[in-house]
Structure 1
Amino acid sequence: MFDTLHECFWSESLWLPVGLTWADLEDKEGRVYAKASHLYVTLPYALAFLLIRYLFERWIATPLAVSAGIKQRVYLKAEENSILEFYYTTRCRNPAQVDIDGLSKKSSLSTRQVERWFRRRRRQDRPGVLKKFTEASWRFVFYLYAFIGGMVALHDKEWLYDTREVWTGFPKQTMLESQYWYYILEMSFYGCLLFSVAFDVKRKSAKLFNYAKWEKTCKTLFVLFAIMFMVTRLIIFPFWLIHCTWVYPVLYYPAFFGYYFFNTMLVVLLCLHIFWAYLILRMIRKFMFGTLTKDERSDNDEEDGDESSSTQDEVEQRHKPGGSLVADKKYDKNRGSRSLSPPENICWSKTVC
Structure 2
Amino acid sequence: MAALSVWFWNERFWLPHNVTWADLADPAPGVEYPKAGHLLSALPLAVGIFAVRILFERFIASPCAFLLHIHAASVHWRATPNPVLEKVFTSITKCPDSRRLDGLSKQLDWDVRKIQRWFRHRRNQDKPSILTKFCESMWRLIFYLFMFTYGICFLWKCPWMWDTHHCWYNYPYQVLTPGLYHYYVTELGFYWSLMFSQFTDIKRKDFPIMFIHHLATVSLISFSYANNMLRVGSLVMCVHDASDFLLEAAKLTNYAKYQRLCDFLFVLFAVVFFITRLVLYPLWILNTTLFESWEMIGPYPSWWLFNSLLLVLQVLHVIWSYLIAGIAYKALVRGKVSKDDRSDVESSSEEEVDTNGPVRSNTTLKISTRLGRNR
Shorter-chain TM-score range? 0.7 to 0.9
State the Cα distance separating 1:145 from its structure 2 match: 0.3
Preserved CA contact (<8 Å) 1:12 1:22: yes
Aligned to 1:198: 199
Distance 1:85 1:210, change over 3 A: same
Aligned to 1:88: 89
State the Cα distance separating 1:34 from its structure 2 match: 2.1
| Structure 2 Cα separation of the partners of residues 44 and 80 of structure 1 | 46
Equivalent of residue 251 in structure 2, options 186, 207, 231? 207
Aligned to 1:50: 50
Equivalent of residue 364 in structure 2, options 324, 335, 346? 335
Aligned to 1:322: none
Aligned to 1:62: 62
Aligned to 1:317: none
Give the SS at the match of 2:280.
helix
Preserved CA contact (<8 Å) 1:70 1:212: yes
Aligned to 1:236: 280
Give the SS at the match of 2:253.
helix
Distance 1:57 1:172, change over 3 A: same
Preserved CA contact (<8 Å) 2:101 2:115: yes
Distance 1:195 1:23, change over 3 A: same
Amino acid paired to 2:24: L
Distance 1:102 1:14, change over 3 A: same
Amino acid paired to 1:8: W
State the Cα distance separating 1:68 from its structure 2 match: 1.6
Amino acid paired to 1:284: A
Alignment of 1:152-163 (within 5 A): 152-163=153-164
| Structure 2 Cα separation of the partners of residues 233 and 335 of structure 1 | 31
Distance 1:243 1:86, change over 3 A: same
Alignment of 1:15-30 (within 5 A): 15-29=14-28, 30=30
Aligned to 2:185: 184
- Listed one character per residue, the Cα deviations across residues 155-208 of structure 1 (whole Å, up to 9, x for unaligned) are 211111111111121101121111111121112112222222123126851211
Aligned to 1:318: none
Give the SS at the match of 2:319.
helix
Equivalent of residue 294 in structure 1, options 333, 338, 347? 338
TM-score (norm 1): 0.77
- Listed one character per residue, the Cα deviations across residues 85-113 of structure 1 (whole Å, up to 9, x for unaligned) are 665355421212433465689xx866579
For the aligned residue pairs, the C-alpha RMSD in angstroms reads: 3.2
State the Cα distance separating 1:35 from its structure 2 match: 2.2
State the Cα distance separating 1:143 from its structure 2 match: 0.2
Alignment: residue pair count: 313
State the Cα distance separating 1:14 from its structure 2 match: 1.3
Aligned to 1:167: 168
Aligned to 1:275: 319
Preserved CA contact (<8 Å) 2:42 2:186: yes
State the Cα distance separating 1:303 from its structure 2 match: 5.9
Aligned to 2:224: none
State the Cα distance separating 1:119 from its structure 2 match: 4.5
State the Cα distance separating 1:146 from its structure 2 match: 0.6
Give the SS at the match of 2:307.
helix
Give the SS at the match of 1:274.
helix
Give the SS at the match of 2:334.
coil
State the Cα distance separating 1:79 from its structure 2 match: 5.0
Alignment of 1:88-167 (within 5 A): 88-89=89-90, 91-100=92-101, 118-167=119-168
| Structure 2 Cα separation of the partners of residues 292 and 220 of structure 1 | 10
| Structure 2 Cα separation of the partners of residues 252 and 120 of structure 1 | 61
| Structure 1 Cα separation of the partners of residues 352 and 323 of structure 2 | 31
Larger deviation: 67-76 or 208-217? 67-76
Alignment of 1:3-22 (within 5 A): 3-22=2-21
State the Cα distance separating 1:282 from its structure 2 match: 2.6
State the Cα distance separating 1:42 from its structure 2 match: 2.0
Larger deviation: 44-53 or 289-298? 289-298
Q: Equivalent pairs: percent with the same residue? A: 37
Larger deviation: 42-51 or 130-139? 42-51
Is residue 2:288 matched to residue 1:259?
A: no
Amino acid paired to 1:68: L
Amino acid paired to 1:335: T
Preserved CA contact (<8 Å) 1:100 1:111: no
| Structure 2 Cα separation of the partners of residues 247 and 162 of structure 1 | 14
| Structure 2 Cα separation of the partners of residues 4 and 169 of structure 1 | 31
Preserved CA contact (<8 Å) 1:283 1:292: no
| Structure 2 Cα separation of the partners of residues 202 and 236 of structure 1 | 30
5+ residue gaps, structure 2, are 205-246, 355-359, 367-375
| Structure 1 Cα separation of the partners of residues 181 and 118 of structure 2 | 52
5+ residue gaps, structure 1, are 312-330, 338-353
Amino acid paired to 1:150: G
Aligned to 1:71: 71
